[in-house]
Amino acid sequence: MPRIKIITDSTAYLPQEYVNKYNIDVIPLTVNWEGRSFRDGVDMKTDEFYTRLKNADTLPTTNAVSIHDYNEYIQAALDGEYEVLILPISSGISASYFNGVKAVENFVGFPVEIIDTKLVSMPLGFMVLAAVRAAEKGATLQEVKRIALDSFSHIGVYFTVAELKYLHKGGRIGGAKRLLGSALNIKPILQLRDGKIEAAGSAVTRKKALERLVALVGEGIKDAKPVRISVFHALDIQTANDLMECCQKQFNPVEMILSEVSPVVGSHVGPGTVAIAWMTGE
């Protein structure tokens, strides 16, 4: 039975226990800030990053995973006698996928596959978990790839940000641009649709936005069972814990994961962001 290595990137921000349990390779993206470069989730603690971002005069920029880094991770996996499936951040948000495609072209004839996940953060994490769990059960590389692709239609996410300025300045605001004019008066609710950030609604207060967030997740899940839920946040653990408790009572998930927004993603959404992702089905 072939061994399959899943390679993803730091924007998935899976809790470390999952990375260790399933032997997932995580390639860090890079945050560039005030003349220094930081590996996402490696060189700076998340809380420290968001505290600095909150008070910063200049915003950080980010770099995609390089072709060189992909080459190194792929070669190491092949040397370890693994077949490889790469699940990167959405092509609609980062150039990582396109660099990954170029890297895979260097391994023609070897069992290496890549897909455009059209996901980021814990929605991407859920796809990674679907893939590694299928591989653990003995699925072939092509079967694992198909399962990952199929999982996309069972995954969703809604989130709210404290301020739209980070998305606007980072150029990642997509179809949510229409909210900018009233950004000071509303609390936007956003979603990831077809790999890009889009507006899903708004509320007049933070409390109302969080209530609407949970309601939209319920509409997304409908009556599907089983369901897995992840709540993730950027420097707002109290709200995340409250949402975890709410989702546990309302949706009775078979799995709940509390995570954080990675600094690379956080550079574009800002501190105070909270999100709920879900995946239905086995």
* CATH number corresponding to 154-280: 3.30.1180.10
Max intra-chain CA distance, the chain? 57
What's the token pair of residue 217? Answer: 């997740």
Is 268 a residue whose pLDDT tops 80? yes
Residue 12, by phi and psi: left (phi above 0), alpha (psi -120 to 50) or beta?
Answer: alpha
- pTM of the predicted structure, to 2 decimals: 0.92
Is 171 a residue whose pLDDT tops 80? no
pLDDT at 56: 84
Give residue 198's pLDDT band: very low, low, confident or very high (50, 70, 90). confident
Give residue 181's pLDDT band: very low, low, confident or very high (50, 70, 90). very low
Whether the domain at 3-153 and the domain at 154-280 fall into the same CATH topology: no
Give residue 152's pLDDT band: very low, low, confident or very high (50, 70, 90). very high
Mean pLDDT for 263-267 is 88
Q: Which CATH class is domain 3-153?
A: alpha beta
Helix (H) / strand (E) element for 62: namely: strand 61-63
Is 142 a residue whose pLDDT tops 70? yes
What residue spans define the domains of the chain? 3-153, 154-280
Residue 46 neighbours by CB under 8 Å, 6+ apart = 235, 260, 262, 263, 266
Give residue 168's pLDDT band: very low, low, confident or very high (50, 70, 90). low
Is 7 a residue whose pLDDT tops 80? yes
User: How are beta strands 3-9 and 82-87 bridged, if at all?
Assistant: parallel
